[in-house]
Structure 1
Amino acid sequence: MNGVIPLWKPKGMTSHDCVSRIRQIFKTKKVGHTGTLDPDAEGVLPICVGKATKIASLLTLNNKEYEAEISLGQSTTTEDLAGEIVEKKNVDQSFTIDECESVLSGFQGWITQVPPMYSAIRVDGKRLYEYAREGIEVERPSRQVNIYEIKMLSDELTWYNDCDVRFNFKVACSSGTYIRTLCVDIGHKLGYPAHMSRLIRTQAGDFPIDQTVTFEELEQSKAESLISLADVLTLPSYTISPDEEYRFRHGQVLELPEELEDVSTFKVITESNELIAVYQHHPSKVGKMKPYKVF
């Protein structure tokens, strides 16, 4: 079986846990996810099965949408509820939701983030969370991410106590954005330590929340849950005849058709909508195209 499953990841499972369970359901080792969701988060997690694992890197780069809850008044080691509290500050009783909304709007556009210590990014060949577990603080490379939209969802603040004041917001962002870190940075702008207290990924690329399937649904109708490789890739398509299949299946460098001169990367499909390859313009041979991935 080959295709992509728009999985609904439940709270309490790691992304790797989800991969392991799908390996059991589909009885194959060729399974991979397209963008980690923290154990306490839930939501859309596209899973690649079979030959679809070859396009996982393409799907990982897709934009994401989230609904998040931020808690003002406390910061934690992990920047979310799972960590230990490292700083506390009482929130002023006169603090309003309007102040929060004003600060939120300032985060739209390109921003700089420093990834959290508890993350899977590698520094000198070692993942940051490995350093963090050893109590070692290392310099983390900053990154540019794009916040396409950020919008307040709460009408008012929720006061649990003077150092736990929460509100909800929605964000659409580029791949690689840490919502935990975004919450911490929002809190900093508001003048308070903060952490992320809840997260739901509502969309990953072209997979919205209403197209997801649960593990229970997968167990009942696994084949029906798979979306084909040709349908999952939203790249421009180039349909080939049966006579052309051999050259594309073997990844030959070929003449670039005139209709694709303005398209840098495209999917090659058969007349029966089977994905054969992903091709791109040749970097050094004008008028030629070369394979990026062959299936």
Structure 2
Amino acid sequence: MYNGILPVYKERGLTSHDVVFKLRKILKTKKVGHTGTLDPEVSGVLPICIGDATKVSDYVMNMGKTYEATVCLGSTTTTEDQTGEVIERVNIEKDTITSTQIDDVLVQFQGVITQVPPMYSSVKVNGKKLYEYARNNQVVERPERQVVINQISRTSGLRFEHNDCEFDIIVSCGKGTYIRTLATDIGKALGLPAHMSKLTRTQSGGFDLKESLSLEAIQTLHEQDALQEKLFPIEYGLKGLKQIVISDDEIKGKILNGQKFNKAQFEQNIDEIVIMVDDTTQKVLAIYEPHPEKIHEIKPKKVFN
């Protein structure tokens, strides 16, 4: 039985659910889960949690992502990317826009920004996914959301072809950011219709595209009994959380039994989620969080027996 986190290279044309389905067949286990979906036409790293590591998928998702995207100025689409129908178009000539204008606008998107998720997305409104409304030609009010852009910059020159202007950007961002919405919003800030014409996720949850394995490579390693050494331990998926190292065997036992604790028992200030780590094995024992009602207590969120 495999336990750990596996960075998988998702090819264009596959859904994240396709990847999970194929891995379940290859590894012959149902305990496989992804850490946030990638659209079918997006390629890149998709961290997959296997076995007990499925307990930490939410925390891997919260660790941030990096994308390489192509923004196309000249047209907007129903899906905000290259797969949708064009709903607005203008011809872009070489004197329409300059790289300086674009760079000045990109700076405005760094930090905390507000996005309205695209209609073709899995965001739920009244218990129903937005893309379900879109497919039925229903229009609903979409809730604004705050997302974090840690870094955004242009990585190519401007390419003028077919009455469009394309350029590449790199974006490091937090959970819930829609890069195709970012592309259309960049266009709006420039006063031009725009969409995202290509996207690759190069980092996710601390995993890099360079260390990601294709499904074919995973199958080969599995058949050679060499896959486990490619899996990252559960602790890797929790490295974004504060940790408390436990050396007292009695406390270790209480943690593994899911007991609550008074915060005063620990030297560290606990005002957020923490992980309890065994000092001998360096393995995570449990994830604890402040008690919602008893301000002096912490309670277990997940225990790893």
Whether these two folds match at TM > 0.5 is: yes
Q: Which runs of 5+ in 1 are unaligned?
A: none
Matches within 5 A, 1:216-255: 216-219=216-219, 220=221, 221-234=226-239, 235-240=241-246, 241-255=248-262
Partner of 1:206: 206
For the pair 1:157 / 2:125, whether they are aligned, the reply is no
For the pair 1:73 / 2:82, whether they are aligned, the reply is no
For the pair 1:112 / 2:120, whether they are aligned, the reply is no
CA-to-partner distance for each residue in 1:3-54, whole Å, 9 max, x for gaps? 1111121111111111111111221111111111111111121111111111
Distance 1:282 1:104 in 2: 41
Matches within 5 A, 1:18-33: 18-33=19-34
Q: CA deviation at 1:262?
A: 4.5
Letter in 1 for 2:32: V
Q: CA deviation at 1:83?
A: 0.9
For the pair 1:124 / 2:126, whether they are aligned, the reply is yes
Equivalent of 1:277, from 271, 286, 293? Answer: 286
Q: 1:82 to 1:209 in 2, by over 3 A?
A: same
Distance 2:65 2:212 in 1: 14
CA-to-partner distance for each residue in 1:112-136, whole Å, 9 max, x for gaps? 1100000001111110111111111
- Say whether the 8 Å CA contact 1:213–1:225 is kept in structure 2: no
Distance 2:206 2:183 in 1: 25
- Say whether the 8 Å CA contact 1:14–1:39 is kept in structure 2: yes
Distance 1:176 1:277 in 2: 26
Q: Helix, strand or coil for the counterpart of 1:260?
A: coil
- Say whether the 8 Å CA contact 2:47–2:205 is kept in structure 1: no
Percentage of matched positions with identical amino acids: 45
Distance 2:269 2:132 in 1: 46
The number of residues matched between the two structures is 293
Q: CA deviation at 1:275?
A: 2.2
Q: CA deviation at 1:294?
A: 1.5
Distance 2:94 2:209 in 1: 36
Tell me the TM-score normalized by structure 1: 0.94
Partner of 2:88: 87
- Say whether the 8 Å CA contact 1:4–1:46 is kept in structure 2: yes
Letter in 1 for 2:285: I
Q: Which one is further off, 108-117 or 261-270? A: 261-270
Q: Helix, strand or coil for the counterpart of 2:24?
A: helix
Aligned-CA RMSD value: 1.7
- Segments ≥4 residues shifted beyond 6 Å: none
Q: Helix, strand or coil for the counterpart of 2:267?
A: helix
Distance 1:33 1:3 in 2: 12
Q: CA deviation at 1:286?
A: 4.6
Q: Which runs of 5+ in 2 are unaligned?
A: none
Partner of 1:181: 181
Q: Which one is further off, 243-252 or 13-22? A: 243-252
For the pair 1:260 / 2:268, whether they are aligned, the reply is yes
- Say whether the 8 Å CA contact 2:13–2:41 is kept in structure 1: yes
